[in-house]
Amino acid sequence: MLPKNINAFYKLLLRKYTIIPYKMSYPLVCLGNPLLDVQANVEPEYLAKYDLKSNDAILIEDAKSDVRMKIFDELVEKKDTIFVAGGAAQNTARGAAFELGPNKVAYFGCVGEDKFSQQLLQENEKAGVKSLYLINKEIGTGKCAALINGHDRSLVTDLGAANHFKPEHLDENWEYVKNAKAFYIGGFHLTVSPAAIVKLGKHAQENNKPFVINFSAPFIPQFFKDALVQVLPYATHIIANETEAAAFSESFYSGENITDLKEIAKKIIADYNQKATVIFTHGLEPTVLVNSDLSTKEISVHALDSSKIVDTNGAGDAFAGGFVAGIILDEDIEKCIDRGQALAKISIQQVGPSFPVK
């Protein structure tokens, strides 16, 4: 029989049981540079107003003085503007969430305390991604304006707060790290905080957790060699496309003229991490898989009629999203690659690095 006094009832429970507060755990934790992609249709006159060219990309170096910073405020006011939680690793996080469902993916990065970070939070929430942002109160959120004119686009990027992530933010949220099953690192973060990547890598290595690193861009192996060498020993899986693989070969093996993707992968494994698996995507060509024992395999991509391709931007991020989702689901390596290819096929039928609403 229950006590008449409800407080006495709770005291009885506390005497008999230890009540542990529930803590949400996220199997996949991603780390990267968050950017809000702001995409809108514009007329040629708008490009001319800011001295921009079609099919070009501009990186704003001084946000305080560059007049093109006004573009972001103007696009926010346009009714047809599309907002996407961008940045390569954040695209991958959303792709993995598309595969795994909500409350399965958490994402670390640095943003400003402004309306753009609020938009990022909303986009991630809709995608089912937990945002574990470090908030920088002095520097604005990184953002990329995609100005669409017909089939052409002009990109204007302000990296902003994304460049200011601190490893200490991981310490402050270490519960998420401890509860994670696997980690994904976008290569662009090598330009920001290699120490944060190493911190996660050591935890993954000590606890036998998958640790996936993506080269993300050719300039990473070209100009951030030391940072890349620091983190490669922790990788269980290394992802890159054919251009990034070629850049690695040219940068690390200059003069040897190694162009075959399988041979480049074997060199990476032999010289930098003998326990890693390397995956090189190659556009419509088969994906190259080289295992840690140096065995190789080619896996065909999913066919898609060219008339159905809307936007290939972010296809590599989508592949990585499907791949790491497969890791979380304990699928074998070939199934993980197949899942990545399937998600990339879905993504390129959407506008921007995005996925259909379920």
What residues act catalytically? 317
* 76 close to 38: Cβ distance less than 8 angstroms: yes
DSSP assignments along 242-265, one per residue: HHHHHHHHHHHSTTS----HHHHH
**Contact status, residue 184 vs residue 31, Cβ threshold 8 Å:** yes
Burial of 34 (0-12, 13-18, 19+ CB in 10 A): buried
- With the C-alpha atoms ordered 164, 165, 171, 176, is the resulting torsion angle positive or negative? positive
* Spatial distance between the Cα atoms of 210 and 218, rounded to a whole number of angstroms: 24
**CA distances in angstroms from 91 to 184, 307, 312, listed in the order given:** 12, 24, 13
Which two three-digit tokens encode residue 32?
């990267």
